[in-house]
Amino acid sequence: MSDSVANNTVVDYTPFGKLPDHLLVEIFVRVPISEWAQISCVKRQWANVFRGECLWQAALTRTYPCAHQTKRWPGPIPRGMSRRRYAALYVSKRIFALDGEMDEIVGHAYLFLKEQLEFSDMPPTSSILHGTIIDQFIACGKSRDIANELASQIWLAALDNLEDNEHTFLILKRLALEGDVFLPYPYTKSIKVQWKVFEKLFTDFRDCFSHVDYYDVLGCAKNKFQPIPSAWMGY
């Protein structure tokens, strides 16, 4: 690609540089999604195309043709614009391998939880986050059992896909040290979710502990689980 700079303006003389946005959209949606991030960095016009609604509407229609038939749903987690809907459907297929009308809602719930855990300096307590997800599924007509199972799957997937950094360690430590709050079924988190929090702390983040923090979290683990794995022992 050849660019020339004159009067502080970058002029693209290649055939691609002359294409209008609507044709670029038709080309980009046919490129594998794994290359989209790199393509969007090539030039400002292309970055603007990826920030616009038109590309994501086209991608949604092409990749998930039944998505336009989905009606808006009640509940606390909003559907959002086309880019958000595309991301929700993408993760529901890749992470949960679900197929059916609940795909998009599961994807939105996953994105909601992961963003609260990853990007919020002070996310709500786990009981509030869990309750929000449960309420979303119940509002969509799912039974309490199904709502609880889906919420547990979302928690486990979100915890597995958090970045390995100091922020994640602090969030996991906070989740581990949260006091037990009695909540009626299905608002109680499953034992699998609670176990996953401690497992990640004592395996992926063991080196992040101070002496005091380690024994505080270990004490909480002993109160919740008996017996605890020997791999969790030994600071």
Task: Please check whether residue 67 is in contact with residue 61, taking contact to mean a CB–CB distance below 8 angstroms.
Answer: yes
**Residue 14 has which token pair?**
């290649």
pLDDT computed for residue 9 by the predictor: 44
Q: What is the pLDDT of residues 193-222, one digit of tens each?
A: 999 999 999 999 999 999 999 999 999 999
pLDDT computed for residue 115 by the predictor: 96
pLDDT computed for residue 4 by the predictor: 42
Task: Please check whether residue 80 is in contact with residue 115, taking contact to mean a CB–CB distance below 8 angstroms.
Answer: no
Q: What is the pLDDT of residues 30-73, one digit of tens each?
A: 999 889 999 999 889 999 999 999 999 999 999 988 887 777 88
pLDDT computed for residue 99 by the predictor: 57
Residues 6+ apart with CB under 8 A from 17: 1, 11
Alpha-carbon span 70 to 66, nearest angstrom: 7
What percent of the chain shows pLDDT beyond 70? 90
Task: Name which of 2-11, 21-30, 190-199 the model is least confident about.
Answer: 2-11
Per the prediction, the chain carries an average pLDDT of 88
Residues 6+ apart with CB under 8 A from 230: none
Q: What is the 3-state secondary structure (H, E, C) of the chain?
A: CCEEEECCEEEECCHHHHCCHHHHHHHHCCCCHHHHHHHCCCCHHHHHHHHCHHHHHHHHHHHCCCHHHCCCCCCCCCCCCHHHHHHHHHHHHHCCCCCCCCHHHHHHHHHHHHHHHHHCCCCCCHHHHHHHHHHHHHHCCCCHHHHHHHHHHHHHHHHHCCCCCHHHHHHHHHHHHCCCCCCCCCCCCCHHHHHHHHHHHHHCCHHHCCHHHHHHHHHHHHHHCCCCCHHHCCC
Question: Does residue 183 carry a pLDDT above 60?
Answer: yes
pLDDT computed for residue 7 by the predictor: 44
Beta bridge partners of 209: none
Question: Does residue 15 carry a pLDDT above 70?
Answer: no
Band of pLDDT at residue 5, cut at 50, 70 and 90: very low
Question: Does residue 25 carry a pLDDT above 70?
Answer: yes
pLDDT computed for residue 8 by the predictor: 43
